[in-house]
Structures are given as structure tokens and as C-alpha cells.
């Protein structure tokens, strides 16, 4: 029997940890805390709020500290910006609940869905995935890019992450499993699916951002995709191998064609062909070296054993 069901039978209150990554969210912190308080209190759910400040340049840290007297709030503030993956795993490391959910501070994830997730956990599900419905507000380019990225992951990693988000609830057993993984560069969405466990899905509609603007630029999204693709799959290495095979086949076909022309007594003007061949082969070689370099850099960073994040200041809930 699962933890949620056991605790219900024992009559114990089950603690829910809300992990809230923040980066320059001073305008959303207080409102997010109030929305969560109203929603979870009305549902009679004991909870804690675990704010992770990812090196914000505004007053995000101070705003969270102001909540400490009136809310069950813990704060872990990074010494600099380490990225969202680091904030999630920091929250997983320090949360104390029997289960935990990842909740963005911009409140685009509906708080009411957390209650649904919690009920599913009490039924025995160890992972409750938040799956967003088709978002009409996203641009065609962003949709195309996301679909392409998740299609590559599905083919290479055998995991379907289409419309998946970081918005999910996990049992303590799942949290402990994720915390036991030693790698420094992580992809939370993929790893939380890879570990398995009994799971279910709940669809939700993405709400409008309450305050501020998204911190994700096009360049940062591309960088995020490349980092996670190379962290979780070997597809780029396999793709360069396929390109090499294709180029070899083309070279062999070209050689056969040239031999045929010689046998037929035709004059071969090979200057253009030579230039094209050199440029094509050089391009493929440089791409291959670049991909290998990405993986070598990841191996090097893993061998350095540097921490995923550095906490400059922490405030523990009362």
C-alpha cells in the first residue's frame, strides 16, 4: 500500500510541500502565497511553501522573508543564477512533506489543480503529472520547436513528454529516488518520468501570467533544449554518425559516376566537385567535433563534482 493511503488509514495529516522556483518575481511572491494558502486551507491540506530564489536581482528574497511570519514558508536563496533545474532539485532536497509539487511563481499553473493532484496521491498514485491542454496563446514557432524537441526525446529516450510540464506531484519515495541520483546536469521532466512508479495524468489550462514577463527568451529556450537533449539522449552523436554514413554513400556514388565517365572517354571537370566535396566533408566533421565537444564538456563537469547550486541564505519555516 502506498504512503498516502497508509497515512489516511493511520489518521495522520499528510504534509504537502509546494516547491516554488523564483527568479525576479517580486511582483508575484505575495499573491502566489495567498492564492496557495486560500486554496489549500479550504481543502484542509497541511502544507509548506519552499521558495527557491535563483539569484534574483530584484526584491524577491525580501518579499519571501516578509511572508515568513504569516505563512509556513522556507526560503533557499542561491548565490547566483543556477537555472531552473537547480531550483527544482534544491526544493526536492530540502522539502519535508510526504509529497511535493512543483509550482511556478507566475501562477500560470492553476492552484486548484494541486488539490486534484493531492486527492490522486491519496488514492495511491506516486506521481501525478500535470499535462497542459493545447495553448492557443503560444506562437506557431514555439509550438513547432517544442513538438520537434519532444518528438526527438520520444524517439531516442522512449519517453513521451508532449504537453508535459514541471507541474507534477511526487510521493516521498519518488523524491528520495530523484535525490539519490548523482548527476549534476539534470532534466527534471525526463528523469521524473524515467524513474517510473505508479502515475496518472491530470489536464489543466495554462492561465495568464499575473505580473511581470516571462524570463525565457528564444535563445535561452534553444540553450535549454540543447542542454537537456545532450543530457538525456545520445541522439546528436547518433545523428552525426548517420550523416557520416550518408556522406560516405554519396562519395561512393560519385566515385562510381566518375569511373563511368572515364571509361566512356569523357573529360572530367572536377574543380567544382572537389570544392563541394571539401566543403561538405569539412562541415560534417566540424559538426561532429562540436557534438563530441558538448558531451566531453558534460563529462568534464560531472567529473569536477561541483555542487548543483550554492545556497547563500536560508530561512527555515517555523
Find the mean pLDDT for residues 163-178.
Answer: 87
> At residue 202, does pLDDT exceed 70?
yes
Report yes or no: 74 and 314 within 8 Å, Cβ to Cβ: yes
Residues 269, 261: Cα–Cα separation, whole Å:
11
DSSP 165: E
Q: Which three cell numbers stand for residue 158?
A: 522512449
Domain range annotation of the chain: 3-215, 235-304
Find the mean pLDDT for residues 139-162.
Answer: 61
pLDDT for 20 equals 92
pLDDT for 268 equals 60
Better-predicted residue by pLDDT, 1 or 250: 250
pLDDT-derived band of residue 189, with 50, 70 and 90 as boundaries? confident
> At residue 282, does pLDDT exceed 80?
no
Q: How far apart are the first and last CA of the chain?
A: 32
> At residue 305, does pLDDT exceed 90?
no
Residues 141, 148: Cα–Cα separation, whole Å:
10
pLDDT for 9 equals 42
Q: What is the pLDDT of residues 93-122, one digit of tens each?
A: 999 889 999 998 888 888 888 998 999 998
Q: What percentage of residues in the chain have a pLDDT greater than 90?
A: 10
pLDDT for 272 equals 60
> At residue 178, does pLDDT exceed 70?
yes
Better-predicted residue by pLDDT, 6 or 317: 317
DSSP 59: S
pLDDT for 204 equals 83
Residues 289, 306: Cα–Cα separation, whole Å:
25
Q: Does CATH number 3.90.550.10 belong to domain 3-215?
A: yes
Measured from the Cβ of residue 277, the count of other Cβ atoms closer than 10 Å reads: 15
Better-predicted residue by pLDDT, 63 or 210: 63
CB within 8 Å of 61: residues ≥ 6 apart: 53, 75, 77, 313
Find the mean pLDDT for residues 293-308.
Answer: 76
Q: What is the pLDDT of residues 8-64, one digit of tens each?
A: 444 445 889 999 998 888 888 888 888 899 898 888 889 899 999 988 888 888 888
Amino acid at each position: 500500500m502506498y504512503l498516502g493511503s497508509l497515512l489516511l488509514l493511520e489518521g495522520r495529516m499528510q504534509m504537502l510541500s509546494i516547491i516554488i522556483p523564483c527568479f525576479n518575481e517580486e511582483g508575484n511572491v505575495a499573491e502566489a502565497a495567498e492564492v496557495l494558502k486560500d486554496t489549500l486551507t479550504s481543502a484542509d491540506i497541511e502544507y509548506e511553501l519552499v521558495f527557491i530564489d535563483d539569484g534574483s536581482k530584484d526584491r524577491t528574497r525580501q518579499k519571501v522573508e516578509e511572508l515568513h511570519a504569516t505563512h509556513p514558508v522556507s526560503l533557499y536563496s542561491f548565490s547566483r543564477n543556477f537555472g531552473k533545474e537547480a531550483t527544482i532539485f534544491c526544493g526536492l532536497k530540502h522539502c519535508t512533506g510526504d509529497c511535493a509539487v512543483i509550482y511556478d511563481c507566475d501562477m500560470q499553473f492553476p492552484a486548484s489543480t494541486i488539490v486534484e493532484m493531492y486527492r490522486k496521491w491519496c488514492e495511491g498514485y506516486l506521481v501525478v503529472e500535470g499535462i497542459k491542454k493545447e495553448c492557443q496563446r503560444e506562437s506557431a514557432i514555439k509550438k513547432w520547436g517544442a513538438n520537434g524537441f519532444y518528438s526527438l526525446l520520444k524517439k531516442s529516450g522512449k519517453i513521451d513528454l508532449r504537453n508535459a510540464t514541471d507541474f507534477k506531484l511526487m510521493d516521498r519515495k519518488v523524491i528520495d529516488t530523484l535525490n539519490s541520483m548523482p548527476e549534476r546536469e539534470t532534466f527534471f521532466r525526463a528523469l521524473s518520468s524515467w524513474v517510473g512508479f505508479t502515475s496518472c495524468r491530470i489536464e489543466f489550462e495554462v492561465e495568464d501570467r499575473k505580473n511581470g514577463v516571462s524570463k525565457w527568451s528564444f535563445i535561452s529556450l534553444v540553450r535549454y533544449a540543447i542542454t537537456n537533449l545532450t543530457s538525456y539522449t545520445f541522439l546528436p552523436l547518433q545523428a552525426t554518425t548517420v550523416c557520416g554514413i550518408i556522406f560516405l554513400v554519396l562519395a561512393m556514388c560519385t566515385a562510381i559516376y566518375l569511373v563511368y565517365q572515364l571509361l566512356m572517354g569523357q573529360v572530367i571537370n572536377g574543380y567544382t566537385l572537389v570544392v563541394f566535396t571539401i566543403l561538405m566533408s569539412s562541415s560534417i566533421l566540424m559538426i561532429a567535433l562540436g557534438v563530441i565537444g558538448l558531451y566531453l564538456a558534460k563529462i568534464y563537469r560531472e567529473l569536477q563534482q561541483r555542487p548543483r547550486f550554492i545556497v547563500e541564505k536560508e530561512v527555515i519555516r517555523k
